[in-house]
Structure 1
Amino acid sequence: MPTYTGSCHCGAVTFEVSGDIEQLTTCNCSLCRKKNAQMARVHKDAFKMTADWDTVSLYQWNLKIAKHYFCKTCGIYTFHQKRSEPDYFGVNAQCLDGFDPASVPTIPANGAAMSVAD
């Protein structure tokens, strides 16, 4: 089983992901459209934060279920805890060292269709 290391641009946020990455997703919700990330779906047990959690900023919006994490220093989106599957993280595949996002298919997710608070 492969293990990938990952980081933000400045290296303050570091993490590891264990397991095969067989596909990536893009999402059309208002946040994901703007951050334009390709995300690998990773079970929480296969994700390990190797930096202190105080290196990331938490951003939540709408129903405040999903937790989006960005580097406090360089601002790069690194990963998020998924709203639709709270036991999974969406990891920014562009942050993974030695992983080629073009090596696996990317499928669209219809986050724009998820409910929003009034």
Structure 2
Amino acid sequence: MVLRCSPLNRALGKSKEFKMKLTCHCENVTLILSEIPTEVGECNCSICRRYAASWAYFSPEQVEVTMTKPTDIYCWGDKEVEFHRCSVCGCITHYVTTAKCLDKILAVNMRMAEAEVLSGIAVRNINGASY
């Protein structure tokens, strides 16, 4: 199974120049970014603090997601966000906003990147617990 988050570009035969490739531990899930983020967000909400994720935020057209086996999806509460984890190795790879959310966001867990890549990216603390 191959899922891509940029169907319009694929349908038009356009290819983007991608800048960064991230994978889960087993490489079942691959995320290819059209740009290198300058900042990541570390949120302290009830789920992000448990995932210990470092999120970089994109529009869905800026990220290509491919996988061999489908991800497991977790959606709770107001059902505005779907968290994806690799069904093989268990890494939290990304989340996407649902139709219930006004903003179309694909957030990538930058902890899927190599450590040396992360060292050059600024970290912004997000007080999601206060929402």
Same fold (TM over 0.5): yes
Amino acid at match of 1:95: M
- Cα 1:86–1:70 shift into 2, 3 Å: farther
Does structure 2 conserve the Cα–Cα contact (< 8 Å) formed by 1:5 and 1:97? no
Match of 1:38 among 49, 54, 68: 54
- Cα 1:96–1:9 shift into 2, 3 Å: same
Number of the residue aligned with 1:87: 104
Q: For 1:30, what is the secondary structure of its paired residue?
A: coil
RMSD after superposition? 2.1
- Cα 1:26–1:82 shift into 2, 3 Å: farther
Number of the residue aligned with 1:103: 120
Structure 1 residue 63 and structure 2 residue 82: aligned?
no
- Cα 1:29–1:104 shift into 2, 3 Å: same
Identity within the alignment, %: 24
Structure 1 residue 78 and structure 2 residue 75: aligned?
no
Q: Structure 1, unaligned stretches of length 5 or more?
A: none
Q: Structure 2, unaligned stretches of length 5 or more?
A: 1-16
Structure (1 or 2) with the larger CA radius of gyration? 2
Does structure 1 conserve the Cα–Cα contact (< 8 Å) formed by 2:18 and 2:32? no
**TM-score normalised by length of structure 2:** 0.76
Aligned residues: 113
Does structure 1 conserve the Cα–Cα contact (< 8 Å) formed by 2:42 and 2:54? yes
